[in-house]
Homo-oligomer: A and B are copies of this chain.
Amino acid sequence: MNPESSFSNDNREQLEARLQQLKSSYEQILSQGLALDLTRGKPSTAQLTLCDSMDGILNGNYLTENGTDCRNYGGGLGIPEARKLAADYLGCDPKQTLVGGNSSLQLMYQCVLYSHLFGDADAEAWSREAGSDKIKFLCPAPGYDRHFSVCEALGIEMIPVAMTDRGPDMDQVEALVQADPLIKGIWCVPRYSNPSGVVYADSTVQRISKLGNIAGNNFRIIWDNAYAVHHLVDEPPELANILELSRQHGTLDNVYAIGSTSKITFAGAGMAFLASSESNISTLASHLSYLTIGPDKINQLRHVKFLKDNNTIKNHMDQHKAILRPKFDLVQQHLDKAFAGKSLNGEAMGRWTIPKGGYFVLFDTQPGLAQQVISLTGAAGVKLTPAGATWPYGNDPNDSNIRLAPSFPELHEIDAAMKVFTLCVEMVTLEQALQSG
């Protein structure tokens, strides 16, 4: 950033004039009654329509390859062909997988709940080990709000960990787990982190895969590979295979790797799956057997018939990319136009990510302004994820992170929303500069 850019050299009068101009534009927008939404990473209608042929795809054939009738009860691990698909997707053996219902969040919640209450085969239950103390989870932040909610729901204390452009700050992570045996897990979204878009570097994955050797056998890495194939570029960055690395380091029990088709097929009616050691899968299946006689195997069969294999999934995701890419490009254009090279008080007016995949752009205001920006855009009819939502306890220490989710709205809506957003950022930043100046 160049502190000598045009804005920083404006005199106070010019800045005040610009602020008045922005305020007047904002007043005009208020009168338009906009209703736009950039809050959640939801697929758009065009993306969903790519899979419309799934209803009816079975053509009356409800049997798996091994003759199981998907219409009837049973099969807590998922049907064999779905486990094969999940294994190829996550990079492991089908025996290491469990395929569930429509929600990967539910699988993660259950893994955490069961580790807390019951423990795994050789792993003491966290609640027993902690006694009257609380156990703790490491939360690379900013991160995924629904991960943090699981901790809140189950009374697990959250410790924010800094995110770098190579993933969580591993020096910090290792020091923390070494110092405190009540730290029992870490949330990870390793490729296209929510919301920063960071892809964990090989060395980071290596160090994460060895955490179990420091933290002990009931430590759990929740490896939420939610955007594994959700690329926005043609040459996507590689991600090291944590299941393979953990197997090599004898720490496979420490890892739950999770995937789902929620943003491949239908967000509300996809197929979620999980991989770990065979022993963990067996323990999990046994816990799950108390609450269900099995997942929806018919929907699993639909998914296998539609998605077939990694190559078919890749081609399918290219169609998603073709829909999503222009939306992300449009966001970048607005941000570039409004803020590229512009600084105020010697500081950039905004910084933002250029993700190579995933569902989010992370925008950083100058410190202390995110809440105000989000509140102003909201009042103007453009909903954004609440300030702080991407931090444990909703507490963004700098009040600067704003998560933009352009997947669901149409291009013209993104265009309108980004005009409001950039206007509000500039207005709030100017106002603060003038007050403090």
Which B residues are in CB contact (< 8 Å) with A298?
55, 266, 268-269
CA distance A143 to B320 in the complex (A): 50
Q: Is A322 on the interface with B (CB-CB < 8 A)?
A: no
Residue-wise, chain A 261-295 has the 8 Å CB interface mask toward B (1 for contact) of 01000111100000000000000000101111111
CA distance A146 to B287 in the complex (A): 13
Which B residues are in CB contact (< 8 Å) with A152?
290
Which B residues are in CB contact (< 8 Å) with A289?
149
Contact B71 A269 (CB under 8 A): yes
Q: Is A106 on the interface with B (CB-CB < 8 A)?
A: yes
User: Min CB distance, A143 to chain B, in Å?
Assistant: 16
Q: Is A16 on the interface with B (CB-CB < 8 A)?
A: no
Q: Is A193 on the interface with B (CB-CB < 8 A)?
A: no
CA distance A57 to B56 in the complex (A): 7
Which B residues are in CB contact (< 8 Å) with A209?
none
CA distance A102 to B294 in the complex (A): 9
Contact A268 B74 (CB under 8 A): yes
Q: Is A48 on the interface with B (CB-CB < 8 A)?
A: yes
Contact A268 B42 (CB under 8 A): no
Q: Is A377 on the interface with B (CB-CB < 8 A)?
A: no
CA distance A322 to B163 in the complex (A): 63
User: Min CB distance, A304 to chain B, in Å?
Assistant: 14
Q: Is A40 on the interface with B (CB-CB < 8 A)?
A: yes
Which B residues are in CB contact (< 8 Å) with A150?
290-291
Q: Is A393 on the interface with B (CB-CB < 8 A)?
A: no
Q: Is A45 on the interface with B (CB-CB < 8 A)?
A: yes
Residue-wise, chain A 117-150 has the 8 Å CB interface mask toward B (1 for contact) of 0000000000000000000000000000010011
Chain A residues numbered 280-334 whose CB sits less than 8 Å from any CB in chain B: 287, 289-299, 302
Chain A residues numbered 65-103 whose CB sits less than 8 Å from any CB in chain B: 69-75, 101-103
Contact A102 B291 (CB under 8 A): no
Contact A72 B101 (CB under 8 A): no
Contact A40 B102 (CB under 8 A): no
Residue-wise, chain A 372-394 has the 8 Å CB interface mask toward B (1 for contact) of 00000000000000000000000
Q: Determine which of B55, B59, B109 lies in contact with A290 in the assembled complex, contact meaning CB atoms within 8 Å.
A: B109
Max count, chain B CB within 10 A of own CB: residue among A58, A149, A289, A293? A293
A45-B69, A55-B56, A55-B57 known; A103-B293 Cβ under 8 A: yes
Q: Is A176 on the interface with B (CB-CB < 8 A)?
A: no
Closest to A153 in B: B290
Contact A268 B297 (CB under 8 A): yes
Contact A42 B73 (CB under 8 A): yes
User: Min CB distance, A149 to chain B, in Å?
Assistant: 5
CA distance A292 to B107 in the complex (A): 9
Residue-wise, chain A 30-59 has the 8 Å CB interface mask toward B (1 for contact) of 000000000010110100100110011111
User: Min CB distance, A284 to chain B, in Å?
Assistant: 13
Contact B105 A293 (CB under 8 A): yes
Which B residues are in CB contact (< 8 Å) with A103?
291-294
CA distance A133 to B62 in the complex (A): 48
Max count, chain B CB within 10 A of own CB: residue among A71, A287, A289, A290? A71
Q: Is A397 on the interface with B (CB-CB < 8 A)?
A: no
CA distance A73 to B47 in the complex (A): 13
Which B residues are in CB contact (< 8 Å) with A296?
101-102, 268-269, 296, 299
Q: Is A110 on the interface with B (CB-CB < 8 A)?
A: yes
CA distance A302 to B269 in the complex (A): 12
Q: Is A437 on the interface with B (CB-CB < 8 A)?
A: no
Closest to A151 in B: B290
Which B residues are in CB contact (< 8 Å) with A291?
103, 105-106, 109-110, 150, 153
User: Min CB distance, A57 to chain B, in Å?
Assistant: 7
21 A-B pairs within 8 Å (CB atoms) are namely A51-B71, A55-B55, A55-B62, A55-B302, A70-B269, A72-B267, A72-B268, A73-B267, A101-B101, A101-B102, A101-B296, A102-B296, A103-B292, A103-B294, A105-B291, A109-B291, A110-B291, A146-B293, A149-B289, A268-B297, A269-B297
Known: A42-B72, A55-B302, A75-B268. 6 other contacts (CB 8 A): A55-B59, A71-B268, A101-B102, A152-B290, A153-B287, A296-B296
